[in-house]
Amino acid sequence: MQVAYFPGCTLSTKAIGYDRSGRAVAAALDISLTELPGWQCCGATFPLAADNTMAFIAPARLLNAVQQAGETVTTLCAVCFHVLKRTQFFLAGHPEVQERINWFTEETYQGRSQVTHFLELLRDQVGWAALAGQVKRPLRGLKVAPYYGCLLLRPENEIGLDDPDQPTILGDCLAALGCEVVDFPYQVECCGSYLAVSKPELPEKLSQEIVAAARRRGAQAIATACPLCQFNLDYAQRERVSVSANQRRNPGGDELPIVYFTQLMAVALGLEEAAWGLTGHYVDPAPLLRNVL
């Protein structure tokens, strides 16, 4: 299988471990990810003002690049997926905006691009049974809480990835890896998102509540598909971890590692530890994952 791949800015910087593990997992499953040529930032947030045409230019240009690259693109970042998917939906219903953008950019986007999330690719193209058949090191006994957040699922009529209130796609992926999936009531609650920049105390409080809810249900780790969620939930636990020489490896006892689902996949598929991409975590997941093997 060959598909265009949009990594996005965060997976090239802060969340490079997500990108590394995702590419390694794709290769192990014979999925060829071809990085979208000349990509730029998607804009990071979906424009809320429909008459702000300029704000749609960045994601529209990416959709045009997708159209030229084969009409289908996949991404790992929930934020990028959210912005591109909603822009695709918006432009389909507002041809006058699409025409205006084409005039301004001197491009010819015709609405033929399709945006998918890598989880969607696994579910619909690979299949959970086939994924389970590729597992070399089943993560049996590892209790993992799937955390979706909001950008991956809502608004339902525009995103359409899964049920926004009772999603299963991430849990099904974890189950295919052999994990014990921990259902908890905060799995679709917002972590505070970009308020980490302007009002950091709010996402910290929300994230601590989310982590605490998963801990009460017996989770040993939380898995996510969003680099912003990963940062907020992980950063909220920083004071529980002793930091020495930039190595966050001394947990106090009840911290929960916040991992990307691709990192768990890399372990379960039998890839070398270098492919796990376990970098930049405040609560280091490596000891937990090594103990499972």
Domain boundaries, the chain: 2-118, 128-292
Q: Pick from 179, 272, 293, 159: which is nearest to 226 by CA?
A: 159
2-118 has which fold? Rossmann fold (3.40.50)
Q: Is 257 helix (H, G, I), strand (E, B) or coil?
A: coil
CA 179 vs CA 8, 105, 175: distances in Å:
29, 47, 5
pTM, to two decimals: 0.94
Residue 223: its pLDDT value, please? Answer: 98
- Which residues contact residue 90 at a Cβ distance below 8 angstroms, ignoring those fewer than 6 apart? 50, 56, 97, 158
Four-CA torsion 153, 212, 286, 268, nearest 10 degrees: -50
Residue 109: burial class (beta carbons within 10 Å; 0-12, 13-18, 19+) = buried
DSSP 72: E
Count Cα atoms within 13 angstroms, Cβ side, for 39. Answer: 25
Intrachain domains 2-118 and 128-292 with the same fold: yes
Q: Pick from 97, 81, 12: which is nearest to 42 by CA?
A: 81
What CATH number does the domain located at 128-292 have? 3.40.50.11810
Q: Which two tokens stand for residue 28?
A: 């192990």
Cα-Cα-Cα-Cα dihedral sign, residues 17, 19, 20, 23? positive
CA distance 15 to 207: 18
Residue 242: its pLDDT value, please? Answer: 55
Q: Are strands 143-147 and 180-181 parallel, antiparallel or unpaired?
A: parallel
pLDDT in tens, the chain (293 residues): 899 999 999 999 999 999 999 999 999 999 999 999 999 999 999 988 878 899 999 999 999 999 999 999 999 999 999 999 999 999 999 999 999 999 999 999 999 999 999 999 999 999 999 999 999 999 999 999 999 999 999 999 999 999 999 999 999 999 999 999 999 999 999 999 888 778 889 999 999 999 999 999 999 999 999 999 999 999 999 977 654 434 444 445 689 999 999 999 999 999 999 999 998 999 999 999 998 87
146 contacts 174 by C-beta, under 8 angstroms: yes
The set of long-range contacts for 24-29, using a CB threshold of 8 Å and a minimum separation of 24, is 24/262, 24/266, 24/271, 24/275, 24/277, 25/262, 25/265, 25/266, 25/269, 25/271, 25/275, 26/118, 28/134, 28/266, 28/269, 28/271, 29/122, 29/126, 29/131, 29/134, 29/269
Q: Pick from 270, 202, 276, 268: which is nearest to 235 by CA?
A: 202
Please give the backbone phi and psi of residue 247, each rounded to the nearest 5 degrees, phi first: -110, 110
